Amino acid sequence: MTALQVFVDGIGLYAPGLDGWTHARAVLAAPQTYRATPLQLPSIDSLPAAERRRLGVAVKLAMAVAYDAAQASSADLQHLGTVFASSAGDCDNCHQILESLASPDRAISPTRFHNSVHNAAAGYWSIATGSQRPSTSLSAQDAGFGAALLEAASQIHSNAQSCLLVVFDTPYPEPLHTLRSVTHAFGVALLLTPVRSASTLCGLTISLTQTPIHPMPIPELEAMRGNVPAARALPLLSALATTQPQTLVIEYLQGLNLSITLQA
């Protein structure tokens, strides 16, 4: 695979103990300061009230990181292509639908069905921003962040336009949690561009490698990285927190990882 180069103009991040990029950047630059606190998300005021009432945690998380990344560089939201990825979408909504199907009347709420499609987060983003730009929604099990990063970088090289990358995961309630034990909610967004601008934080050169991954330096963050597919981004986010030129390796498919070189 030819190495792909893109530029990072904005970052969004919410997870337990990582409350937005400004807070998370300081924590990831000094990981011994990390404390696992409950997930806190801002209100999504850009959606009409009727739409906001339909949102579950998964879509709220995706919208929160998307807005933070896009607004960090004053991007034109109506003309911004997007790539969304999640291993399972809205897990709470899936649980509620399965409970309804197991009940005597088997009736499913239209809102539950509406939110069950995998591109629900992309749909709410389009409603909130008025964007009619192309959007891709991916699911790649534990390889979601790597697959989505490659998809976004490939689109940028194909059409020379900016792309908003949004990756999010939330835990299943029991009993599905026992079968698919994603342990935390985690959402990350990167506003990626084809050329360096005044808003650019750093450049990324991405290629495939079989080199072992870089783990996180403290057990709590390494456990999050290993147990949440979207959190496979943590080594990259830690590097972005320091913006120091370096090469790191993040997990992709089994036996095949992504080498990412940061240029200041």
> Quick check: is 258 in a domain?
no
> Do residues 177 and 171 touch, judged by C-beta distance below 8 A?
yes
For 23-57, b/e burial (b = at least 16 CB within 10 A) is ebbebbeebeebeeeebebeebebbeeeebebbbb
Nearest alpha carbon to residue 21 among 31, 10, 30, 12: 12
Find tokens 């999640």 and name the residue.
86
Task: Please say whether the beta carbons of 28 and 89 come within 8 A.
Answer: no
pTM recorded for the entire structure: 0.95
| CATH number of the domain within which 168 lies | 3.40.47.10
The size of the chain, in residues, is 264
More confident position, 14 or 55? 14
Half-sphere exposure of 171 (CA within 13 A, CB side): 15
Does position 73 have pLDDT exceeding 90, yes or no?
no
Asked if residues 11 and 190 have their Cβ atoms less than 8 Å apart, the reply is: yes
pLDDT average, residue stretch 54-71: 94
234 belongs to a structural domain: no
Residue-range definition of the domain harbouring residue 41: 9-199
> Computed over its alpha carbons, how large is the radius of gyration of the chain?
18
Q: How far is CA 236 from the centre of its chain?
A: 12
Residue pLDDT, tens place only, 145-200: 999 999 999 999 999 999 999 999 999 999 999 999 999 999 999 999 999 999 99
Residue 107 lies in a domain: yes
| Model confidence at 53: pLDDT above 90 | no
> Distance of alpha carbon 208 from its chain centroid, rounded?
20
- Taking CA atoms, 179 is separated from 73, 88, 176, 182, 187, in Å, by 40, 13, 5, 9, 22
Question: Does the residue 85 lie in any domain?
Answer: yes
Q: How confident is the model at residue 7 (pLDDT cuts 50, 70, 90)?
A: very high
Number of domains composing the chain? 1
Q: What is the pLDDT of residue 172?
A: 95
In a domain, 253, yes or no: no
CA angle 150-250-17, nearest 5°?
Answer: 105
Q: What percent of the chain has pLDDT above 70?
A: 100
